[in-house]
């Protein structure tokens, strides 16, 4: 990727969680390494997925050009305006726009949770402090029904698991 694409990627990923107070998942300035996560995802992805990440950067970075006809990029907008624009793109009427914006959002989420300090503030790893009714803390077993061909008597045998 070119230096310009790398800068666009960081500017876009930062806009998903603008750096301010450092409370919860909101990172402090410089706390999250978005570029390392983006590079890791591209490096370990298939060629098609790596192309998708690069296409997402181009499409989303050039949003002011293709939406409003302005010769500008998302990087030129203030971070909160970028965040608002990203929220709009996540609900865009065109499927490919929504999906590429979602792909970048996924990358930003991975970068946030790769930062130990952000993860610690969110209490993500500490299941003992989480509410007991939170999904995933209790294992729920689904009822499994196995249908077998009828036996000689014509009765169907059912097996369940708890």
Q: Indicate the pTM of the whole model.
A: 0.70
What pLDDT is recorded for position 95? Answer: 94
| Radius of gyration of the chain from its Cα atoms, rounded to whole angstroms | 22
Instruction: Please give the pLDDT value at position 16.
Output: 87
Per-residue pLDDT of the chain (162 residues; tens, 9 = 90+): 899 999 999 999 988 888 776 666 778 888 889 999 999 999 999 999 999 999 999 999 999 888 777 788 888 888 888 888 999 999 999 999 999 999 999 999 999 888 888 888 877 777 665 555 555 555 555 555 556 666 665 555 555 544
**What DSSP letter does each residue of 115-148 carry, written as one string?**
SHHHHHHHT-S-TTSS-TTSTTSS--PPP-----
User: What is the C-alpha to C-alpha distance for residues 49 and 156, in angstroms, rounded to an integer?
Assistant: 47
Predicted local confidence at residue 31, as pLDDT? 86
State residue 136's pLDDT score.
53
DSSP reduced 3-state for 10: helix
């Amino acid at each position: 990727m070119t230096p310009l694409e790398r800068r666009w990627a960081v500017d876009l990923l930062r806009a998903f969680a603008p750096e301010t107070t450092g409370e919860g998942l909101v990172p402090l300035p410089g706390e999250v390494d978005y570029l390392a996560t983006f590079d890791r995802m591209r490096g370990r992805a298939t060629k098609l997925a790596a192309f998708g990440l690069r296409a997402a950067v181009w499409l989303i970075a050039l949003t002011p050009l293709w939406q409003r006809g302005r010769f500008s990029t998302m990087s030129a907008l203030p971070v909160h305006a970028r965040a608002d624009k990203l929220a709009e793109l996540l609900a865009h009427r065109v499927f490919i726009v929504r999906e590429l914006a979602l792909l970048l959002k996924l990358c930003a989420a991975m970068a946030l949770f790769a930062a130990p300090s952000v993860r610690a503030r969110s209490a993500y790893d500490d299941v003992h402090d989480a509410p007991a009714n939170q999904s995933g803390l209790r294992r729920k077993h689904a009822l499994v029904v196995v249908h077998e061909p009828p036996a000689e008597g014509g009765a169907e045998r059912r097996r369940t698991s708890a």
